[in-house]
Amino acid sequence: MTEITKSAHGAWSSRFTFILAATGSAVGLGNIWKFPYITGENGGGAFVLVYLACVLLIGIPIMIAETMLGRRSQRNPIETMELLTEEAGADKNWHYLGWMGVIAGLLILSYYSVIAGWATAYIAKAFVGSFFDADGTAIKTLFDDFVASPVQMIFWHSLFMAATLLIVVRGVNKGLEKAVQWLMPALFVLMLLLVGYAMTTDSYFQGLHFLFAPDFSKLTSSSVLTAMGHAFFTLSLGMGAIMVYGSYLPKGVSIAQTAFIIAGADTLVALLAGIAIFPIVFANNLHPDTGPGLIFQTLPIAFGNMTGGWIFGILFFVMLSIAALTSSISLIEPAVAWLVENKNVSREKACIWSGLAAWLLGLASIFSFNIWSNVKFFDRTLFQLLDYLTANLMLPIGGFCIAVFAGWIMKQQHSEQELNMPNAQSYQVWVVLTRYVAPLAVFFVFLHVVGVL
């Protein structure tokens, strides 16, 4: 194993930095943009309970497994699966799992950067007072006019992608590490400020009731798949990000402990986002099931009419942009690491080529909101298709395969060595969850959705 465990690139300077980086990868638009709107679409409290169960029983075990695979090889996801497959004496086709993760990351980044561009654009709109005294019609018109303009969307998409590349091109210690050390604390401070404001509204408890009081009559099999897919999406599982971040993790650091901390912090941010957003939505007689435009079509109404709304509007969209940035740098890193390690290109060129690929694909998402809005596949626009393909299919399938490989293919002595859990009982719990609970849960949800069950 000496040739596998020898590091091929930089490493995090400390366990705390890895936690910040991996939490930054997990905490992003999925928590602040997507979690509130899919919770609103799926009825609130019951959906939240299913989501939490998915994080605990599926997300955390697979996060431990994916981090372990990355640290075992200390390579990019593609080479990780090639090396570990050879070590386990398994079928060589397992290396396609690494490819799927890298491709999923780039696909997600392509439309992720578009939505992040919305957030960045709305900082400017909040700053110039576009929300001031605006009613629902005015805000909807503002949003509709924005997404109807390919030029505006391309500008902000390009600006956000450039910011991502400027961080990633500097490498592990000078780029990724420095960014998360500043961005993650700022994100939590801004989130707490917004929660504090939500507590002052008359609808604070109505928001809490919607978020935490379960109504299981509103749950469907599609809701369960959405909750499971979002658990993968928000924890950055199955997209190569956690695997490549794990490859930068020094030996001796407890993978299981850090996975619980990361998942806990990620879930906390998602719940805090709901606590901050839904009271504002209800206080202004808005609808929680607005969909992807929830925070862009409803919250600006509140910011434009509440005391201190100018500063809180700016702070909210700054926070949203920061969250997006900490995730986007992890989405592109697997592809960059593979190009640097396997194609003998400089990190600068690897960033340019990976970023250009994601940027070009992002144009399809941009155009799906305007000039290609009538172009649909399986009754979905290109943006909706990419979102569904990655979050509801590629990530759960990737997570399923990671669980099978770590639980069944990888030799037990190697997983025990890497995880180094405090006792045999903890390791056995992880084995049961990884071998049986996580893959079976993914499998049966898929069967139910396609109508077999």
Ordered by where they begin, the domains of the chain are 2-449 (1.10.4160.10)
Find, among 162, 157, 158, 185, the residue nearest to 323 by Cα.
185
* pLDDT tens sequence across 385-397: 998 888 778 888 8
Long-range Cβ contacts of 337-346 (<8 Å, 24+ apart): 337/9, 337/75, 337/76, 337/77, 337/244, 337/247, 338/76, 338/77, 338/78, 338/79, 338/102, 340/9, 341/8, 341/9, 341/75, 341/76, 341/79, 342/76, 342/78, 342/79
DSSP string for 268-280? HHHHHHHHHHHHH
Residue 365 near residue 114 (C-beta atoms within 8 A) = yes
Beta-strand ranges (E) seen in 217-299 are none
Q: Which residues of 265-279 are buried (b: 16+ CB within 10 A; e: fewer)?
A: bbbebbbbbbbbbbb
How far lies 376's CA from each of 352, 373, 381, in Å? 30, 8, 5
Q: At what angle do helices 60-73 and 77-88 cross, to 10 degrees?
A: 80
Return the H-helix or E-strand segment holding 190.
Answer: helix 178-198
Cα–Cα dist 413/429, whole Å: 16
Q: What pTM, to 2 d.p., does this model score?
A: 0.86
209 residue type, one letter: H
3-state secondary structure at position 406? helix
Q: Tell me which residues of the chain have a pLDDT lower than 70.
A: 1-15, 18, 21-22, 25, 171-180, 445-453
436's tokens: 């049986």
pLDDT for the residue numbered 391 = 78
Q: What are phi and psi of 219, to 5 degrees?
A: -85, 140
How far lies 243's CA from each of 240, 341, 405, in Å? 5, 15, 13
Cα–Cα dist 363/150, whole Å: 9
Judged by phi (left if over 0) then psi (alpha if -120 to 50, else beta), residue 411 lies in beta
Judged by phi (left if over 0) then psi (alpha if -120 to 50, else beta), residue 240 lies in left
Cα–Cα dist 415/428, whole Å: 11
3-state secondary structure at position 377? strand
Q: Which residues of 306-338 are buried (b: 16+ CB within 10 A; e: fewer)?
A: beebbebbbbbbbbbbbbbbbbbbbbbbbbbbb
- For CA atoms 147, 149, 154, 159, give the dihedral sign: negative
Cα–Cα dist 411/414, whole Å: 5
Residue 18 near residue 255 (C-beta atoms within 8 A) = no
Neighbours of 422 (CB within 10 A): 10
pLDDT for the residue numbered 1 = 44
Cα–Cα dist 303/239, whole Å: 35
Which residues 6+ apart lie within 8 Å of 291 measured at CB? 37, 41
Q: Residue 377 pairs with which residues in a beta bridge?
A: 380
- Say which residue the tokens 């079976």 belong to: 440
Which residues 6+ apart lie within 8 Å of 145 measured at CB? none
- Say which residue the tokens 């390690």 belong to: 341
3-state secondary structure at position 380? strand
